[in-house]
């Protein structure tokens, strides 16, 4: 079945990417710190879009009580998310280091956009750890239980 990342989450990822791309075009150390962060983010976002966020596209139907056999397709993703969760979390940790650096040079070079971006991305990662990843795994558990897999 075709699993779609909820539109709001997709837009949030795109907005973060665009914001970071803008920072890489600024002069000075901000750009350098932003480029380092881009390097960390690229692969991480790709993985999230591949298997961590699409399961959340089922939440709406599941909450309404709809469960269909095709939903079993989500299990490959949620199993992968469960297996690779430690990697995703350690990537967040690496990002945090790069974020601190970006915020620090942003303050030094009077670039409030860099400081705001660092805060926004930190909150984004916390939201994923505390809500989105667990919710996606719960989707898998629930579908598995309901379909008796």
Q: Does 106 help bind Fe ion (rule: CB under 5 A)? A: no
Q: Does 81 bind Fe ion (CB under 5 A)?
A: no
CA–CA separation, 104 and 95 (whole Å): 14
Pick 20 or 71: Cβ nearer Fe ion? 20
Distance CA 117, CA 21 (A): 11
Site size with Fe ion, rule: CB under 5 A: 2
11-50: which residues touch Fe ion (CB under 5 A)?
A: 48
Q: Which is nearer to Fe ion, 22 or 122 (CB)?
A: 122
Q: How far is the CB of 99 from Fe ion (least distance, A)?
A: 12
Read off the tokens for 32: 């350098």
Determine, following the binding rule CB under 5 A, whether residue 128 of this chain makes contact with Fe ion.
yes
Q: How far is the CB of 44 from Fe ion (least distance, A)?
A: 6
Cα 25 to Cα 19, 33, 60, 109, 126, distances in angstroms: 10, 11, 39, 14, 27
Per-residue burial over 35-50, b if 16 or more Cβ lie within 10 Å, else e, is eebeebbeebbebbee
Applying CB under 5 A, which part among 56-64, 103-111, 126-134, 135-143 lies near Fe ion? Answer: 126-134
Q: How far is the CB of 35 from Fe ion (least distance, A)?
A: 19
What's the helix, strand, coil split of the chain in %, to 5? 85, 0, 15
Contact positions vs Fe ion (CB under 5 A): 48, 128
């Amino acid at each position: 079945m075709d699993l779609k990342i909820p539109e709001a989450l997709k837009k949030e990822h795109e907005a973060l990417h665009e914001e970071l791309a803008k920072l890489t075009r600024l002069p000075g150390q901000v750009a350098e710190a932003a480029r380092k962060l881009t390097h960390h983010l690229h692969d991480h976002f790709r993985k999230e879009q591949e298997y961590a966020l699409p399961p959340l596209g089922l939440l709406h139907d599941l909450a309404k009580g709809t469960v269909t056999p095709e939903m079993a397709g989500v299990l490959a993703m949620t199993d992968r998310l469960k297996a690779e969760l430690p990697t995703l979390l350690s990537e967040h940790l690496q990002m945090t280091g790069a974020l601190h650096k970006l915020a620090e040079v942003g303050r030094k070079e009077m670039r409030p956009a860099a400081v705001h971006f660092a805060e926004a991305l930190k909150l984004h990662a916390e939201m994923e750890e505390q809500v989105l990843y667990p919710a996606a795994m719960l989707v898998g558990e629930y579908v598995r239980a309901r379909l008796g897999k």
